[in-house]
Chain A
Amino acid sequence: MIKIDKINTAEALRYMCAADAADPILIQKVEATAAELLKIIKPVYTYKIFPIEFSESGILLSGTSLVLTGKSAREHFSGCHSVIAMAATLSGFADRFIQTAEISDMAKALIADSLCTAAIEQVCDIAESEIMSALPKENYYTWRFSAGYGDLPLDIQPLILRVLNAEKVIGLTINDSLIMLPRKSVTAFIGISDRPIEKKRKGCALCSMCKSCQYRQKGTHC
């Protein structure tokens, strides 16, 4: 289990499309909800490191049947010899908290939902730095790349969870609609290379929300 000291409330406000809100009542409610959430969430993560093999069909994680198909993954991991496969979750307590708030206080539910989305990103950041600190300093890394980015299909998620033994190790499952449960969870791959990696921009074209994104409609990005 890892600990977050403070949930990034500014980021959560942005998810609520209320980044510009300076309403003290709202801010107070966000802060109070964040404090409650911090007491109940139990963030955990797990990871494994796999050497990778580039083949015609995609990138194979050695010793598994998992293949990362498509152009996006091929570009993203080009020059890498291994990947870190990771999974993280805030635990079902976050889901229960949001569900309960949906009954008694809808605004609080919306706020909690956004706070949890911010928190799971923080958990991934912390996990990433913990993982890297245990690895040789000379390594170079790509940014986190997940199923559903670009043309990497979402339907490899069940196998990712199996390969990581995620159900047993961190209690993370996935249902038939490819929704991970507990809901506030992430899986991702980080490429490892011996040589500096050209920092590819996290461009909108890779994003599954590209066509419907509110930010893009306003001419900005997230």
Chain B
Amino acid sequence: MTFKELLKNKFVYLDGAMGTMLQRAGLKTGDIPELLNLTSPEVVFDIHKQYINAGSNIIYANTFGANGYKLKSCGHSVAEVIGAGIQNAKKACAGTDTLVALDIGPIGQLLEPTGSLTFEAAYDIFKEQIEAGKAADLIVFETMTDLYEVKAAVLAAKENCDLPIIVTMTFEENHRTFTGCSVSAMALTLQGLGVDAIGINCSLGPKELLPVVEELHKWCKIPMAVKPNAGLPDPATGAYNITKDQFADYVAQMANFGLKIVGGCCGTDPDYIRATIARLENTVATAPQKLLPTALCSYSNTVLVDRPRIIGERINPTGKKLLKEALKNNDINYILNLAISQAQAGADLLDVNVGLPGIDEKEMMKRAVKAVQSVTDLPLQIDSTIPEVLEAGLRVYNGKPLVNSVNGEEESLNKILPIVKKYGAAVLGLALDEGGIPPKAEQRFEIAKKIMERALAIGIPKEDIYIDCLCLTASAQQEAVMETLKAIKMVKDELGLKTVLGVSNISFGLPQRGLVNSTFLTMAMSYGLDLGIINPNIKEMTGAVRAFRLLKGYDKNSVDFIEAYSEVEDAPKPAAASTDMTLDYAIHKGLKEDARRITEKLLETQDSMEVVNGIIVPALDSIGALFEKGKIFLPQLILSAGVAQEAFEVIKKKMIEANNAPVSKGKVILATVKGDIHDIGKNIVKVLLENYGYTVVDLGKDVPYEAVVEAVIEHDAKLVGLSALMTTTLVSMAETIELIRQNQLDCEVVVGGAVLTPDYAKEIGADYYAKDAKETVDIAKKVLG
């Protein structure tokens, strides 16, 4: 019997709880259950046997938590524990058709960006388990709450074995997992990755899970698996609240919503499985969906492409000096601010393109995708012409992205489409080929058709194929404008595909570009454009999309439109009228917008350095003095520092545009030490140091000792700032300093953090102790001038 053959049955039956049964057999709460595979195999064998006798077609080996992290200090290896687990299960199945699943639960560590475990490290942990459990008939990833962790797990399985994969995740009553993963995001992402069945287990009983199952059914083309708890537990006694017959009745209702594979989780036992099998005998099963809605998603946000939407175009260095500069300097924060501001302006998706000669584009794409998805939940469009760069981005993306792009050239089709398929992305096809962009709509349509056929042939479903009919500049080829629009209509009507268009090119070489762009965008939408690649920070462009959605009736009762344009409640107005406000005042009062405006105005008549040295630095000094005297407090100090930063951004932009790099007062290396992830204090110090003109090399948090030493050498830095917040991580601070001293580096070390004292700082060999961010600046002045 194979899993595929089993799926021919009306229903497939799994087993019930393992943990509940082990506790009944005397396992202590909090102990590691998988060790029983070695210490009491007969107990585990007996439980398996009971489920097989009850009628389970698949039993889960007792391997749920047997990963490198959880078994770290138990004295047994993953291979031993999993090997014994699979063997016990196989032994119990001997002489039956029952299959054995390698059961894998969450690692037990939170992944980046919230946690400190990297995606790559998670992959390695799963890989070890998968290699240890290859003798199983299939793999089950269950009780998962983080879609990113699941993606690492599925990739590890797909790349290291050929076993079928079932994934079930754990949802709460709000239809979300603890990390915010939605039902649709799970379904879109995992079906894209090519797993064999998806579903839901644990957390709730079958009654509470019924609406979650109903929702999943809408998004599911493949068999659905459900393993509910035996109701809800009583916290005082741990007892679950529904009987086996109630359980079976609720499960039977799930059959109306695509249920195919069923078992029980916490609180269930062989009787629950028996009752379920008996109850489902006369129940009719429903088929999964044939076609899914066209949608893209992050882990938590599913964007349906059912109306015109905005792809924010700004994370693309073409023609953008500041972004190029940021990419060269590895300044990821600049990219993140572009992401945040586009999201706030109303973008539905974000394009991410980091193509710049001379940088490691692959590495930068990986970093950029990881970082951008940590600050926004908008789905991404991963944009590159280089297959390896696309793959680097797709691999670490948490959700279902759009790939920009493939085109009609053979080489492009052959290289890009397999990557799109492997990572389960959607793909954007450009209507051009070896011959360039054809002039006529019919010719572009033919290329679009070819791209579609090739994508379908490789197994990319139709709803995941998008076409860009390409826009040329109206000033050079006026007659081509209508050809583009005509092609959009043909692709929509005749191929039934969604369309995308980069709009801004249309106005190249013309005055009043905004006017031309927004008019063309509106025309394109009326011809059927679904996704416009635009700058959402230009009000007229975003406004055109919002107004179109309203007028076309997508925005029911104008709810979104009104919400976007209703007046936001004003912040308390400062005393000074905004026309005669000074920059000094704006900095003191924390008024960012005003500071930006005033600085821009000042730069029309004054030299950049005059503004810095004559206004900003004195303002910061005076705020620093107020802070030291206790007249103002930390949040106000930081607020003012943020305003000064805004003013500096304006100045920096002007200087870079004039090809004048700003002058640095010296480099400071900052790091939150190994093991510690509380970095807010370090980040506050960074803002303040930058305010005073120092270049900060920010190594981030949880920084290995060696990385600090390497950075000091690489940047020839004379000052290193280390922070730690936990008593448990102070020792890492001492180790880092020790390593700096051993390498005889010519630099001084300043330390800070809530649990530090001046005495302890001295004891671990730091040169300075800073009680707050302001004092760090004073120390930097002393050391670096």
Chain A residues with CB under 8 Å of chain B are: 1, 16-18, 20-21, 23-26, 28-30, 42, 44, 46-49, 63-66, 91-93, 95-96, 98-100, 102-107, 109-111, 113, 131, 134-135, 154, 159, 162-163, 167-168, 170-171, 173, 175-179, 181-183, 208-209, 211-212
Is residue B677 within 8 Å, beta carbon to beta carbon, of the partner chain?
Answer: yes
Please determine whether A92 and B114 come into contact, CB atoms closer than 8 angstroms: yes
**From residue B187, how far is it (CB to closest CB) to chain A in Å?**
21
Which residues of chain B are near A48, meaning CB under 8 Å? 29, 235-236, 238
Is residue B754 within 8 Å, beta carbon to beta carbon, of the partner chain?
Answer: yes
Chain B residues with CB under 8 Å of chain A are: 28-31, 106, 108-110, 113-117, 143, 145, 170, 172-174, 177-180, 202-203, 235-236, 238, 333, 336-337, 340-341, 374-376, 571-572, 574, 589-591, 632-636, 638-639, 641-642, 675-680, 683-684, 687, 726-729, 754-757
16 A-B residue contacts at CB 8 Å? A25-B572, A25-B574, A25-B590, A26-B590, A26-B635, A29-B635, A30-B635, A96-B374, A107-B636, A175-B677, A178-B726, A181-B115, A183-B677, A208-B755, A212-B754, A212-B757
How many A-B contacts at CB < 8 Å in the complex?
180
**From residue B706, how far is it (CB to closest CB) to chain A in Å?**
18
Of all chain A residues, the one with the shortest Cβ separation from B686 is A106
Of all chain A residues, the one with the shortest Cβ separation from B682 is A102
Given contacts A21-B633, A110-B684, A212-B755, is CB(A173)–CB(B110) below 8 Å? yes
**From residue B512, how far is it (CB to closest CB) to chain A in Å?**
31
Which residues of chain B are near A63, meaning CB under 8 Å? 28-29
Which residues of chain A are near B683, meaning CB under 8 Å? 102, 106, 109
Which residues of chain A are near B203, meaning CB under 8 Å? 168
Please determine whether B755 and A134 come into contact, CB atoms closer than 8 angstroms: no
Of all chain A residues, the one with the shortest Cβ separation from B679 is A102
CA distance A164 to B106 in the complex (A): 16
Which residues of chain A are near B675, meaning CB under 8 Å? 176-177
CA distance A30 to B728 in the complex (A): 31
Given contacts A110-B638, A175-B116, is CB(A103)–CB(B30) below 8 Å? no
Please determine whether A29 and B754 come into contact, CB atoms closer than 8 angstroms: no
Please determine whether A107 and B639 come into contact, CB atoms closer than 8 angstroms: yes
Please determine whether B635 and A178 come into contact, CB atoms closer than 8 angstroms: no
A65-B31, A106-B684, A110-B680 are known; give 6 further A-B pairs, CB within 8 A: A25-B571, A92-B180, A102-B680, A173-B109, A175-B109, A181-B109
Please determine whether B29 and A175 come into contact, CB atoms closer than 8 angstroms: no
Please determine whether A107 and B590 come into contact, CB atoms closer than 8 angstroms: yes
Please determine whether B238 and A96 come into contact, CB atoms closer than 8 angstroms: no
Of all chain A residues, the one with the shortest Cβ separation from B633 is A18
Which residues of chain A are near B679, meaning CB under 8 Å? 102
CA distance A179 to B82 in the complex (A): 28
Residue B145 contacts which of A98, A109, A171, A209 (CB distance < 8 angstroms)? A171
**From residue A28, how far is it (CB to closest CB) to chain B in Å?**
6
CA distance A106 to B174 in the complex (A): 31
Please determine whether A91 and B676 come into contact, CB atoms closer than 8 angstroms: no
Which residues of chain B are near A209, meaning CB under 8 Å? 754-755
Given contacts A96-B114, A96-B374, is CB(A23)–CB(B638) below 8 Å? no
**From residue B87, how far is it (CB to closest CB) to chain A in Å?**
26
Which residues of chain A are near B589, meaning CB under 8 Å? 25
Given contacts A47-B235, A92-B110, A212-B755, is CB(A16)–CB(B178) below 8 Å? no
Of all chain B residues, the one with the shortest Cβ separation from A24 is B572
Please determine whether A106 and B642 come into contact, CB atoms closer than 8 angstroms: yes
List 8 A-B pairs, minimum CB-CB distance, nearest first. A171-B178, A18-B633, A177-B675, A163-B30, A107-B639, A92-B114, A181-B110, A107-B638
Residue A64 contacts which of B29, B340, B571 (CB distance < 8 angstroms)? B29
Please determine whether A167 and B114 come into contact, CB atoms closer than 8 angstroms: no
CA distance A151 to B93 in the complex (A): 51
Please determine whether A211 and B728 come into contact, CB atoms closer than 8 angstroms: no
Please determine whether B235 and A46 come into contact, CB atoms closer than 8 angstroms: yes
CA distance A70 to B679 in the complex (A): 31
Please determine whether B634 and A18 come into contact, CB atoms closer than 8 angstroms: yes
CA distance A24 to B375 in the complex (A): 28
**From residue A199, how far is it (CB to closest CB) to chain B in Å?**
25
Please determine whether A168 and B726 come into contact, CB atoms closer than 8 angstroms: no
Please determine whether B642 and A107 come into contact, CB atoms closer than 8 angstroms: yes
CA distance A175 to B238 in the complex (A): 27
Please determine whether B336 and A103 come into contact, CB atoms closer than 8 angstroms: yes
Which residues of chain B are near A23, meaning CB under 8 Å? 632, 636
Please determine whether B634 and A179 come into contact, CB atoms closer than 8 angstroms: no
CA distance A188 to B489 in the complex (A): 63
Which residues of chain A are near B170, meaning CB under 8 Å? 168
Which residues of chain A are near B590, meaning CB under 8 Å? 25-26, 29, 107
Please determine whether B727 and A208 come into contact, CB atoms closer than 8 angstroms: yes
CA distance A44 to B177 in the complex (A): 12
CA distance A162 to B680 in the complex (A): 29
Which residues of chain B are near A24, meaning CB under 8 Å? 572
Please determine whether A107 and B754 come into contact, CB atoms closer than 8 angstroms: no
**From residue B367, how far is it (CB to closest CB) to chain A in Å?**
14
Which residues of chain B are near A47, meaning CB under 8 Å? 235
Name the residue among A63, A106, A181 with the largest chain B CB count within 10 angstroms.
A106
**From residue B635, how far is it (CB to closest CB) to chain A in Å?**
5
Please determine whether B143 and A64 come into contact, CB atoms closer than 8 angstroms: no
**From residue A45, how far is it (CB to closest CB) to chain B in Å?**
10
Which residues of chain B are near A46, meaning CB under 8 Å? 235
Please determine whether B636 and A100 come into contact, CB atoms closer than 8 angstroms: no
**From residue A182, how far is it (CB to closest CB) to chain B in Å?**
6
Which residues of chain B are near A100, meaning CB under 8 Å? 340, 374-376
CA distance A209 to B726 in the complex (A): 10
Please determine whether A49 and B114 come into contact, CB atoms closer than 8 angstroms: no
